[in-house]
Structure 1
Amino acid sequence: MTKEELHAAAMALPGTTLDLKWGDDHCYCVGGKMFAATDGAYTNLSFKASDIAFEALTTTGRAEPAKYLARAKWVSLNDLRSQDPAEVAEWVKSAHGIVASKLPKKQRAELGIA
């Protein structure tokens, strides 16, 4: 997956904003809450995963628990360019949905999230 493909997939989701944190990390957020993050060069990707996806991705070695965020069920892909764009786009969409579902109902409505 390329930088452009990841950016397009994340920004296409309702209410998504891009925030630069910790120097050069590109963080994709919904309602001010981060759901995916990558380094400035887009070489790796960390994202919020469901409990099942976290277990599946980390036990098979496809991803590793994200540093500092593993307890919150975040995973990290170390070589973004070698990943299937459609699959990563689905993981990002799922991460967005998990985080957005925890926002207050009024905020979700304001952001156009059903």
Structure 2
Amino acid sequence: MTVEDIRSIALKLPHTTEDIKWGSDLCFCIAEKMFCVTSMEGDCKISIKVEVAEFEELCQRQGFTPAPYMARNKWVLIDESARFSKQELEAFIKKSYELVKSKLSKKIQEKLAK
């Protein structure tokens, strides 16, 4: 999985924007709320939001660690993206997108639905 693959997956999701933060991190957002972060340098690692109930389980699996600075908000770092198929990573990114989208205010959700 490359940064371009991640970018392609994320930008297919409605209302997604991208931004570079912290110097070299490519962030994908919906309504200015991040749902996926990847580094543009080095290995292709992906940080995503997960459900509270999944967080501990995923952090015990090989290839996942609590995401630096974001773990308290139930984000995991997929530090071995090559272990997963493109379809699996796409599912993780889409689920993160849906989780973040579901936490947006009703007003913003209604605006996005138009």
Structural RMSD (CA): 1.7
**Structure 1 residues 55 and 65, CA gap change in structure 2 (3 angstroms):** same
Higher RCO (CA < 8 A, seq sep 6+): 1
* Secondary structure class of the residue paired with 1:111: helix
State whether residues 14 and 112 of structure 1, in contact with CA within 8 Å, keep that contact through their aligned partners in structure 2: no
- What residue is the counterpart of 1:68 in the other structure? 69
Residue 63 of structure 2 contacts residue 78 of structure 2 at CA under 8 Å; is this kept in 1? yes
Q: Could you tell me how far 1:69 is from its partner in structure 2?
A: 0.9
- Between the two proteins, the alignment pairs up a number of residues equal to 113
Shift, 1:98, TM fit: 0.6
| 2:16 counterpart residue number | 16
**Please, which moves more after superposition, 17-26 or 36-45?**
36-45
Query: 1:73-92 to 2 correspondence within 5 Å?
Result: 73-92=74-93
* Preserved contact between residue 17 and residue 29 of structure 2 (Cα < 8 Å): yes
Unaligned runs of at least 5 residues, structure 2: none
Displaced runs of 4 or more, over 3 A: none
Of all paired residues, the percent bearing the same amino acid is: 36
Give the aligned residue type for 2:54. A
TM-score, length basis structure 1: 0.88
Deviation at 1:45?
0.7
Q: State the match for 1:112 in structure 2.
A: 113
Asked if 2 retains the 8 angstrom alpha-carbon contact of 1:35 and 1:99, the reply is yes
Amino acid at match of 1:38: T
CA distance in 1, matches of 2:18, 2:108: 18
Matched with 1:94 is: 95
Distance 1:36 1:103 in 2: 16
Question: What is the TM-score with the length of structure 2 in the denominator?
Answer: 0.88
**Which segment drifts farther, 22-31 or 98-107?**
98-107
Q: Is the 8 A contact 1:15 1:112 kept in 2?
A: no
